[in-house]
Amino acid sequence: MSACVESAVGPVIEVEDLVACYGNQRILDRVSLTVRQGEIMVIMGGSGSGKSTLLRYLLGLRRPDSGAVRIFGKDIARLSSAEWRELRKKMGVSFQGGALFSSMTVGDNVCMPLREHTRLDEKTIRIMSRMKLEVVNLAGFEHLMPAQLSGGMIKRAALARAIVMDPSVLFFDEPSAGLDPVVAADLDRLILRIRDALRVSIVVVTHELESAFAIADRIALLDHGRILMVGSVDEVQRSDNQRVRNLLTRTSEEQVVDVEEYLCRLTEGVE
Amino acid sequence: MAFPVEDKHGFSVITLKGEVDLKNSPDARKVILNNLKKRRHVLVDLSGVEYIDSSGVASLVEGLQYARSNDLGFSLVGVSEAAMNVLRLARLDQVFRIYASLEDGLHGGG
Amino acid sequence: MACTVAANVHATSLRRVTEAVGRRFVAGVEDFGYGAALLVESLVWIVLGRWLNQRVRLHAIVEEMMSIGVRAIPVVAVLAFANGAMMAMQGIYTLREFGAESRVVAGIAMSVVREFGVLIAGIVVAARSGSAIAARIGTMQISQEIDALRVMGISPVRYLVAPILVAMLIMMPLLTVLSNSLAILGGGAFSVMELHISPDTYLERALAALAIQDLVQSLVKSLVFGVLVTLVATSNGFSAAGGAEGLGRATTRSVVLSISAIVVADMIFTFFLSR
């Protein structure tokens, strides 16, 4: 009830000047980003762009050192663990490798959030989980173990688990990675269908251009830890920014060599 | 929240209103099953529902299943667009008997 | 000139060594702190989980009790029995030279209950469960199942560590009692033959040598060992990274560290308690 009231006002996720460092390396450099209610935001970038790190912050798996992440208007650095738990019930995540619990059947995996967070009747829980398995076309597979599933089925089972609590925001980490194009396109269509039916906001992290263009309302391009641009699919495709063009055509940029700095990089610490 | 039940032409008309979610879907489930257990045909009026989550839909599914295995009527009435979307996602719009209005339901249901 | 260069090299290498030692020390303190935090958090969940509607599942505890305790029974039994018999052999042959072989029964009983019974149980559990737990949690960490738990709002400590801790606290004392009894039995089997005494006499002498404090000491130790294995194994699992190789490293480290922790803790216990 309160979920709808809150999310109707203001953006679902706000990232403000987020800085992330591993050791001395800056992974994210003053990243700011807003995810609006009901949209599909695709965060796109190559490997090393910092997109996976950004996702970890959005999921609250890391606390920001500098800058802020707000989910439904709440600063995640200032939440009590009880508030976090409430917030978690409204978030669904589909991890890159599925992250299904390998010791449980597919059905138990999907039921798990309900069993842990609700006091619904076991019958209701079973029906709910089977409904979600129907949605992802995995009806009848609930008794299998995750190890018995194919890559595409694992992603779909993970999706069923992610939506079983009817979340307000859904996250996908590389949904099409490791899938053949046909299965990947199926998954894209499924994502769109779920958005339309459940009116969730969706954040997708990916490096796949086709998938991004197929599903995105807006795309955020991440490059070397910085947001290069945020815009609709059209805006991104028509951009004449050279680095955006490079990212889209996948040519690696010829970097201007700073002799002094380059030599220093090669020889630093070598005695 | 209690869900009102009315007796009309031999049907128990159960009216769900507002938001049907994890908090009150167990109540809805109880009302539906209790009426079916009294061997009454049930019409569930969803016209006042702004939002129904899957626990709510699951309760409806359980009701339908109970009704069918006991030869009782179980239909939905006035399904809003939002509720219809949720039903459609799992292809449940093809499973439930759905009527546009209470009138239609009372005449055709059972 | 050459002399100063040599001195400089010497100074830098010394500095490197001290730095490395320092880093190791800090890492050690961090590990210790992490273990302590795990322990506190598990205890909080065990005690308060019920009220926070985040209970530690009985089902999970029973499962852990099976894998940690029940399935360890055969190994503990064999090792304890053999160990008791070996102590009897060594004891009888050595003490015979001093003509004190009749004292061997008291010696077996005391050293088994005070020391070796619990040590055998601890080492078996560390070797079996220390690796299994680290491998299981490490696999979950690497395949992002731990992240999945966290984003579902399920505390990995409550879900994974707390049941193990409870199971350890229940099963370790039981295994220790088993280990004590079988070691004394093993010693008896040999002593009865070699010393030509009746089993009754053997048991009588063995029990006469024991005080209730000895048993208490052994049970307290078993609880401490259980906690140590739990913390070492789970924390190594959680810190696993870097694919299959990293998982192997975490598992090995878990076994080595938990056995070392047990033996060192035992030595400290003995130092303070046998004075």
Q: Per-residue pLDDT tens for A87-143?
A: 999 999 999 999 999 999 999 999 999 998 888 999 999 999 999 999 999 999 999
| pLDDT for position A1 | 38
Per CB-CB distance under 8 Å, the chain C contacts of A96 are: 144
Q: How confident is the model at residue A256 (pLDDT cuts 50, 70, 90)?
A: low
Q: Which of A124, A135, A166 is closest, CB to CB, to B62?
A: A124
Residue-level pLDDT at C139: 95
**What is the per-residue pLDDT for C9?**
67
Share of chain B above pLDDT 70, in %: 96
- The domain limits of chain B are 5-108
Q: Do C151 and A93 touch (CB under 8 A)?
A: yes
C8 touches chain A (CB under 8 A): no
Tell me which of A116, A149, A163 to substitute to probe the interface with C (most C C-beta atoms closer than 10 Å): A116
Yes or no, beta carbons of C150 and A61 under 8 Å apart: yes
CB contact under 8 Å between A120 and B61, yes or no, is no
Query: Exposed, middle or buried, C167 (CB in 10 Å: 0-12/13-18/19+)?
Result: buried
Contact list in C for residue A97 (CB cut-off 8 A) is 143-144
Residue C245's pLDDT is 92
Chain B partners within 8 Å of A1 (Cβ):
19, 21, 23
- At residue A232, what are phi and psi to the nearest 5 degrees? -70, 170
Q: Where are the domains of chain C?
A: 2-273
Which stretches of chain C score pLDDT less than 50? 1
Q: Where are the beta strands (DSSP E) in B23-99?
A: 41-52, 74-77, 97-99
Residue C259 makes CB contacts below 8 A (sequence gap 6+) with C123, C126, C127, C130
Please say whether the beta carbons of C251 and C136 come within 8 A.
no
Tens-digit pLDDT profile for residues C109-153: 999 999 999 999 999 999 999 999 999 999 999 999 999 999 998
Query: Quick one: fold of B5-108?
Result: Transcription Regulator spoIIAA (3.30.750)
Q: Quote the minimal CA–CA distance from B11 to chain A in Å.
A: 24
Q: What is the mean pLDDT of chain B?
A: 87
Contact assignment for C153 to A102 by CB distance below 8 Å:
no
Side chain identity at residue B27, one-letter code: D
In which region does residue A268 sit, left (phi positive, over 0), alpha (psi from -120 to 50) or beta (all else)? beta
Tokens of residue C43, six digits: 């205890």
Band of the pLDDT at B40, cuts 50, 70, 90?
confident
Give the minimum alpha-carbon distance from C131 to chain A in angstroms, rounded to a whole number: 17
Alpha carbons A161 and B102: distance in angstroms, whole number: 36
3-state helix, strand, coil in chain B (%, to 5): 45, 30, 25
Q: Which residues contact C217 (CB under 8 A, 6 or more apart)?
A: C114, C269, C273
Q: Which of B61, B82, B90 sits opposite A135 (nearest CB)?
A: B90
pLDDT band at A250 (very low <50, low <70, confident <90, very high): low
- Residue of B36, B53, B55, B79 best to disrupt the A interface, most CBs of A under 10 A: B55
* Residue B11 host element (H or E): strand B11-20
Touching check for C154 and chain A: CB below 8 Å? yes
CA distance B60 to chain A (A): 10
Q: Which one of C52, C144, C154 has the shortest CB-CB distance to A99?
A: C144
Which tokens belong to C239?
């810190």
List, in sequence order, every beta strand (DSSP E) within chain A: 13-22, 25-35, 40-44, 66-71, 74-75, 91-94, 169-173, 201-206, 218-223, 226-232
Q: Note whether C139 and C43 are within 8 A (CB).
A: no
Which pLDDT belongs to residue A4?
Answer: 44
- Confidence band (pLDDT; 50, 70, 90) for A5? very low
Q: How does pLDDT run across A40-65, given as a tens digit for each residue?
A: 999 998 888 889 899 999 999 988 88
Comparing CB atoms, the residue among B82, B85, B91 nearest residue A134 is B91
- Chain A, nearest residue to B86 by Cα: A197
Is C206 exposed, middle or buried, given 0-12, 13-18 or 19+ CB atoms closer than 10 A? buried
Contact A120 B19 (CB under 8 A): no
- C211 token code pair: 């005080």
pLDDT > 50? residue B90: yes
Facing residue for A85 by CB, picked from C140, C144, C153: C153
Q: In the A/C pair of chains, how many CB contacts fall below 8 A?
A: 48
Return the closest-CA partner of residue B12 out of B61, B71, B74.
Answer: B74
pLDDT band at A242 (very low <50, low <70, confident <90, very high): confident
Question: Which 3 state secondary structure label does DSSP give A30?
Answer: strand
Tell whether A120 lies on the interface with B, counting CB pairs under 8 A. Answer: yes
B110 falls in which pLDDT band (50, 70, 90)? very low
Cβ pair A220, A40 in contact under 8 A: no
The strands making up B97-99's β-sheet, listed across from edge to edge, are: B5-8, B11-20, B41-52, B74-77, B97-99
Q: Which ipTM did the prediction report?
A: 0.89
pLDDT in tens, B70-88: 989 899 998 888 788 888 8
> What is the chain C residue with the closest CA to A88?
C153
Cβ of A166 within 8 Å of Cβ of B54? The answer is yes
Pairwise CB contact (< 8 Å): B90 & A1? no
> What pLDDT shows up at residue B48?
86
Phi and psi at A227, nearest 5°, equal: -80, 120
pLDDT at A7 over 60: no
Tell me how close the Cα of A114 comes to any Cα of chain B, in angstroms: 10
Candidates C230, C257, C240; CA nearest to C43 is C230
Q: Which has the higher per-residue pLDDT, A253 or A181?
A: A181
Backbone angles phi, psi at A204, to 5 degrees: -120, 130
Which residues have a Cβ under 8 Å from the Cβ of A7 and sit 6 or more positions away?
Answer: A37, A72, A168, A201
The answer for C 34-53 residues in CB contact with A (under 8 A) is: 52
Judge contact between B53 and B20, C-beta under 8 A: yes
Cβ–Cβ gap B90/A131 under 8 Å: yes
For an interface test with B, the pick among A166, A191, A193 (most B C-beta atoms closer than 10 Å) comes out as A166
Output the pLDDT for position C200.
Answer: 92
Whole-number Å distance between alpha carbons of A155 and A176: 9
Query: 3-class DSSP state for residue B46?
Result: strand
Q: How distant is the Cα of C45 from the closest Cα of chain A, in angstroms?
A: 13
Q: Which chains touch C (3 or more CB pairs under 8 A)?
A: A
How far, in Å, CA of C254 to CA of C249, rounded? 8
Q: End-to-end alpha-carbon separation of chain C, Å?
A: 58
Provide the 3-class DSSP secondary structure of residue B7.
strand
The number of angstroms, rounded, from the C-alpha of B102 to the middle of its chain's C-alpha atoms is 12
- d(CA C232, CA C165) in angstroms, rounded, equals 11
- Please answer yes or no on whether A61 and C145 come within 8 Å at the CB atom: no
- Nearest Cα of chain C lies from the Cα of A102 at a distance, in angstroms, of 8
